[in-house]
């Protein structure tokens, strides 16, 4: 059987695969950059098993090129790159990697808040470009997290981890999610979507990308936010209408933003976001720690290994397919 891995993973995971299943033929994309669509479709032709990155679309086209494919394991918690209907129609199992990137992404969310509110990027730029002439009482003034109201859209694992950190910073937290929440800690309150937009000093997005959350942040929602507010996004880029965000940032309707994800990745060279001084941009590094990327690759492989051992993969996205497979 052939296992295709569409991106570079920690060598320890490759060693484990070889040690535990020496019968597998491995094909790993170890080149710089992401695998091309043409190469991916070519490799899929002989693939029985696949570990994919979030950059690879697993859709009808790919599945038609992969007649032997039995399971595809996404090395990401999100799976908006998967066409679940096409996978179900093709009877191909699919998994993701929840839990393991929670803490790393929550840490980065807090880092973006600090970068934007404390104006750390412009302060460092001034220092590096020899514009800093010494301490001044009004130099590089920013804002504190302490006492601010943090709005959280969505309340999954990452959002809950962000809340724990925000409370440690002395923030008040308000949450919007469609399910009723019980036993919330002190200084945490569930609110309506309108209240979230209107009351947040910082709004942090933690929702999956679905047809319902596509452009969740748009001109209408931005118009409800305080002009002093900032927006943080470590979820998926298309949750925000980028053109509407750019307009709000340019016209002062929103004070700032910290973005780790974008509608188009990599961010186009001509994107107006690059020129805005009130935006901090990061290249999708929410899970980019040695510990987390190792854990993600291990979890993706362990889902494959469970399947090979005749066990139900722990992170199965289409569990109704499992009885048919067994």
- Domains, the chain, in order of start with CATH, read 2-100+289-325 (3.40.50.720), 102-281 (3.40.50.720)
pLDDT confidence of 325, banded at 50, 70, 90?
A: low
Among 231, 217, 317, which Cα is nearest to 263's? Answer: 217
> How far is Cα 160 from Cα 152, in angstroms, rounded to an integer?
9
Name the active-site residue from 88, 107, 198, 265. Answer: 265
Mean pLDDT, the chain, integer: 97
Q: Per-residue pLDDT tens for 4-36? A: 999 999 999 999 999 999 999 999 999 999 999
Name the active-site residue from 119, 172, 206, 236. Answer: 236
Q: Would residue 124 show up in a list of annotated catalytic residues for this protein?
A: no
Q: Per-residue pLDDT tens for 53-89? A: 999 999 999 999 999 999 999 999 999 999 999 999 9
Q: Would residue 236 show up in a list of annotated catalytic residues for this protein?
A: yes
Q: Would residue 198 show up in a list of annotated catalytic residues for this protein?
A: no
Name the active-site residue from 206, 284, 293, 299. Answer: 284
> How far is Cα 284 from Cα 269, in angstroms, rounded to an integer?
16
Percentage of the chain beyond pLDDT 90 is 98
Residue 326 pLDDT exceeds 70: no
Is the torsion defined by CA of 318, 320, 322, 325 positive or negative? negative
């Amino acid at each position: 059987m052939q296992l295709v891995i569409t991106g570079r993973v920690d060598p320890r995971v490759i060693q484990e695969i070889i040690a535990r299943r020496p019968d597998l033929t491995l094909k790993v994309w170890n080149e710089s950059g992401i695998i091309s669509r043409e190469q991916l479709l070519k490799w899929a032709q002989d693939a029985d098993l696949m570990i994919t990155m979030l950059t690879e679309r697993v859709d009808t086209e790919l599945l038609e090129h992969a007649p032997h494919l039995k399971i595809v394991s996404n090395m990401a918690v999100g799976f908006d790159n998967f066409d679940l209907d096409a996978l179900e129609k093709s009877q191909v199992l699919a998994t993701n990697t929840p839990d393991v990137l929670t803490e790393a992404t929550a840490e980065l969310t807090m880092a973006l808040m600090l970068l934007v509110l404390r104006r750390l990027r412009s302060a460092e730029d001034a220092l590096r470009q020899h514009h800093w002439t010494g301490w001044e009482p009004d130099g590089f003034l920013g804002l504190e997290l302490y006492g601010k109201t943090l709005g959280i859209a969505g309340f999954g694992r990452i959002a809950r981890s962000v809340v724990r950190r925000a409370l440690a910073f002395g923030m008040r937290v308000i949450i919007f999610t469609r399910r009723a929440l019980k036993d919330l800690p002190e200084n945490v309150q569930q609110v309506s979507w309108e209240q979230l937009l209107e009351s947040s000093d910082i709004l942090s997005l933690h929702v999956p990308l679905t047809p319902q959350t596509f452009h969740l942040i748009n001109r209408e929602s931005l118009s409800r936010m305080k002009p002093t507010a900032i927006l943080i996004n470590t979820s998926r880029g298309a949750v925000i209408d980028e053109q509407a965000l750019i307009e709000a940032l340019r016209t002062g309707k929103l004070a700032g933003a910290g973005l780790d994800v974008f509608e188009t990745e990599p961010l186009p060279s001509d994107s107006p976001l690059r020129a805005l001084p009130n935006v901090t941009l990061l290249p999708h590094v929410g899970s980019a720690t040695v510990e987390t990327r190792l854990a993600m690759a291990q979890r993706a492989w362990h889902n494959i290994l469970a399947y090979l051992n005749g066990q139900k993969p722990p992170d199965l996205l289409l569990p109704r397919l499992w009885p048919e497979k067994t």
